[in-house]
């Protein structure tokens, strides 16, 4: 396949690759073979990932989990080059993953060569934090490793049998994948601010009413729910990894009161923020 692939980062047990397809016609690639276990986060575009008996319709909000040792092809649904962040794990670590996640049938079913995961706001945030960490002047290997493991754990926890979303047609994707990609971009950049539906919709060049319906169709969450889950995941990470006070974490994550933050946090995580805080 015609693509630009760059190594963004390499650790002891994985590589992070930036994949940017250069194909601009609706074609199916020649068979490709992978000898490593990969978790691919789809950032932009739309393509069919064809492996064994399955064809996965891949676009923003999707993660492809692929075992080593199998052939696959890629079909471009329309002339929008796709972009992915690929987490490529080394053989020894893959064997550890199989042992760790043996309860997930995917890892032991020889007829399942790849799995398709619809991700949520929390996984989106983790991906963005990983990229932010790689771009930071202050390199922190352990922080990056922790974020990658959290990302993988979140993705594995959502492995299910693949069922295409019949509400999302080819025409809808062609017309509005860009809308959803821009919306996620805006939320990722400004989630700590007091942003409105009008602001996000305006950034995406659609009406607020139309945007709200589109966003829920593609993500299964309302814009407010998606934003709230992003803020809560950010707060969870800060509570576990920094000595910041609960008040500072609440405001840094976009909450305008400690009371609102505590109530929302307890509702999601079933415990008070103080139970997760690094501060004794």
Q: Does residue 251 register a pLDDT over 90?
A: yes
Average pLDDT over residues 13-25: 87
Q: Which residue has the tokens 């690929």?
A: 86
CB 208 within 8 A of CB 240: no
Pick the more confident residue, 33 or 77: 33
Tens digit of pLDDT for each residue in 56-93? 899 999 999 999 988 889 888 666 778 999 999 998 88
265, 195, 266: which is closest to 224 by C-alpha? Answer: 195
- Written as one string, the DSSP assignment of 80-112 is ---EEEEEEE-HHHHHHHHHHTTTSGGGT-TT-
Q: What is the pLDDT of residue 260?
A: 95
**pLDDT more than 90, % of the chain:** 60
The side-by-side arrangement of strands in the sheet containing 70-76 is 32-34, 70-76, 46-51, 54-59
Average pLDDT over residues 32-42: 91
Pick the more confident residue, 79 or 272: 272
How many whole angstroms separate alpha carbon 5 and alpha carbon 85? 10
- H or E element that contains 63: strand 62-66
Q: What is the pLDDT of residue 84?
A: 95
Q: What is the pLDDT of residue 75?
A: 86
Give domain limits for the chain.
3-163, 173-276
Q: Does residue 266 register a pLDDT over 80?
A: yes
Mean pLDDT score of the chain, rounded to an integer?
90
CATH of domain 3-163: 2.60.120.810
**What class is the 173-276 domain?**
mainly alpha
Q: What is the pLDDT of residue 138?
A: 80
Going by the DSSP 8-state scheme, the letter that residue 201 receives in this structure is H
Tens digit of pLDDT for each residue in 89-141? 998 888 888 888 878 888 888 888 898 899 999 999 999 999 999 998 887 89
Residue 69 has, within 13 A of its CA and on its CB side, a CA count of 8
**pLDDT more than 70, % of the chain:** 95
Q: What is the pLDDT of residue 30?
A: 84
* 201 band by pLDDT with thresholds 50, 70 and 90: very high
Q: Does residue 280 register a pLDDT over 70?
A: no
pTM: 0.91
Q: Does residue 278 register a pLDDT over 70?
A: no
């Amino acid at each position: 396949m015609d693509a630009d692939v760059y190594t963004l980062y390499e650790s002891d047990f994985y590589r992070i690759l930036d994949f940017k397809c250069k194909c601009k016609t609706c074609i199916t690639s020649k068979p490709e073979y992978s000898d490593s276990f990969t978790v691919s986060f789809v950032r932009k575009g739309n393509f069919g990932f064809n492996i064994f008996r399955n064809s996965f319709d891949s676009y923003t909000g999707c993660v492809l989990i692929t075992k080593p040792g199998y052939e696959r092809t890629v079909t471009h649904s329309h002339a929008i080059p796709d972009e992915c962040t690929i987490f490529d794990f080394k053989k020894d670590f893959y064997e550890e993953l199989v042992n760790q996640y043996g309860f997930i049938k995917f890892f032991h079913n020889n007829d399942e060569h790849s799995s398709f995961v619809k991700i949520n706001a929390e996984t989106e945030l983790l991906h963005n934090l990983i990229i932010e960490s790689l771009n930071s002047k202050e390199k922190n290997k352990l922080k990056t490793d922790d974020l990658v493991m959290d990302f993988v754990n979140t993705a594995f926890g959502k492995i299910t049998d693949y069922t295409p979303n019949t509400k999302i047609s080819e025409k809808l994707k062609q017309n509005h994948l860009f809308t959803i990609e821009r919306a996620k971009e805006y939320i990722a950049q400004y989630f700590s601010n007091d942003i409105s539906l009008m602001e996000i919709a305006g950034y995406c060049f659609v009406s607020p009413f139309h945007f709200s319906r589109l966003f829920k169709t593609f993500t299964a969450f309302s814009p407010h729910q998606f934003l709230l889950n992003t803020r809560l995941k950010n707060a969870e990470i800060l509570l576990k990894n920094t000595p910041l006070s609960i008040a500072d974490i609440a405001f840094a994550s976009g909450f305008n009161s400690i009371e609102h933050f505590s109530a929302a946090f307890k509702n999601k995580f079933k415990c008070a923020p103080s139970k997760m805080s690094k501060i004794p």
